Each structure stands twice: as C-alpha cells, then as structure tokens.
Structure 1
Amino acid sequence: MDFAFNFLIYMFILFPIVSIVHEFGHAFFAKLFSQKIEEISIGMGKVIFEKDLLSIKSAYFAFGWVTLNEDMEGKMTKFQTSLFLLGGIIFNLATAVILDIFTGYEFFYFRNYVDSFIFLSYLQVLNLLPVTLIHGESDGKQMISRVLKS
C-alpha cells in the first residue's frame, strides 16, 4: 500500500510541482528579457484548467513548456537565449538548494515528501543533456542548436 500511495503522490503532486517551478524559471527569464509569453503549459492532452497564460492539461504530470510570441523569438542575444533555456534548471536548483538549507542537508536521505521534491528538483539537471525526448528536444539540446545556429 505504501508504494502505491507514494507513487500517486510523486506522479500527481511532486512531478507537476517540479514542472511548474521549471516552467516558471523559463518564464521569468523570458519576462526579464522583455519577451512576450503566449502560454505556460503543464502536461499534454485536453486543457483541464486555464488561467491567464497558464494552462494545465489532463496529463499534467508529463512535461511542460513556455511558448513565446513568434515575433519575439530570435530577438534575444545568444546569452539571453541560453539563460532563457537554462531558466528552468536554475529555478529547480535554486528551489532545491533553499529547501535543502532549511531541511538540514541530508542529500539522498528521504525522510518525507519535501526531500523527494528536492531530489526531483536536482534531477532536472539531466535536462541539460542534449537529447531528443518524446515531447521534443531537451533544454540542453535546444540551447546548443540555437546558440550554434545564431
């Protein structure tokens, strides 16, 4: 029973929160560089919740993205583009470090769901790997292709 309950907590609460933090990191840097955001989306499938720019879809535990206005894309410098693409990872790492400080630095020791959230946030660093995923390219692959292309 514990495994099934914990799996449900991870899948339907922790993963989506980590994704939201990640996408808000991208959105923060987009706004910092005066980019117009069209959508911040969490999940895939039908929209189940929509408020302003944020849309949460039926498979809300899977993936996410920030869509910029087409007119704005390409108007960022290579440095700004890199920070925009790294923004999600930066926010995940900052959140993990801050929570780690407040919970006592016991890395890989899972006492509760906060520790699990911290671990999942640290795992977002893997998004730097330049790979193509089910839903598209990782942040690392996008950064390499955009920076080399410009």
Structure 2
Amino acid sequence: MKIALYLFAPLLLAACVSRPVPPTASVAEDDMAVAPNCSEERFAIYFEEGMSALSDESDAVVDAVSDSYARCDLYKMEIRGHADASGDAVTNQVISAARAEAVLEALKTRGVDAERVHLVAYGEQDAVTASGAEEPLNRKTEVRLVPES
C-alpha cells in the first residue's frame, strides 16, 4: 500500500497544481461576440410539376435564407428559377420565372431588400440528363447568397 501511495503521490500533486485558476474579473459581452460567418451560401426550393406556389417545406427554406441574409448584411442575392423539360420551352421559361418571383416575394415579406436581389429564369436549361430522361429535380429555385466584395 505504501508503494502505491509513493507511486501515485506525484500524479495527485500534479493534478492539484495544474488546475487553472478561475478568472477574478467578469468577461465583457463584447469580448464574447463572434463575427458572423458571411461566406457564400446556397439554398434549393423544390416545386410540384407545373406549380410556382411555395409549400410548407419551402417556407422553412425561405425562413433559413432570410435568417442567413439578416445575420450578415454584406450579402447580395441571386435567385435562379428552373423548370423540368416536360412542357414546351416557352411554358417552362414562364414557370421558372414565376418560381423565382414567388421566392422573391416570400423573402420580401421577411425583410429582404429586393434592390439587392438578381432574378434569373433558366427555363428547362439543363433539365434533360445525358440519357435523355427528364429531370424532375430541376423543378426548383436556387437561392445564392454571395458576400459583397
């Protein structure tokens, strides 16, 4: 037993000595503030075929976009509307523009400055895969937040 005490005594002493001393002065809140991460962010909002109305799931994404936008006021925003290739090219162009506009309107109700937003409607561009299949995942609007430089 004495041998064990002699072996572990230095460890116990080191444990007692190496504990940090708690600060005596309080830390100011300004010292704890962390700068927001204002790097580029991308969001995707998906739509039903032929539709431009936002769903409940889409509203949650729009909320996330507006939260990110509000966190860092150095963003400019691009909203890119897309459509699948199931209809004619003119209809798909119109639906992609309507989707982008619907997202912009939802963001404006959440305080996003429309002056800093650039809308682009791609229609059915890139909606067909290399195998010729229509791409339903192209029924979307992409929102891209880009830090201003």
- What's the TM-score, normalizing by structure 1? 0.29
Q: Which has the larger radius of gyration?
A: 2
Higher relative contact order structure (alpha carbons within 8 Å, sequence separation ≥ 6)? 2
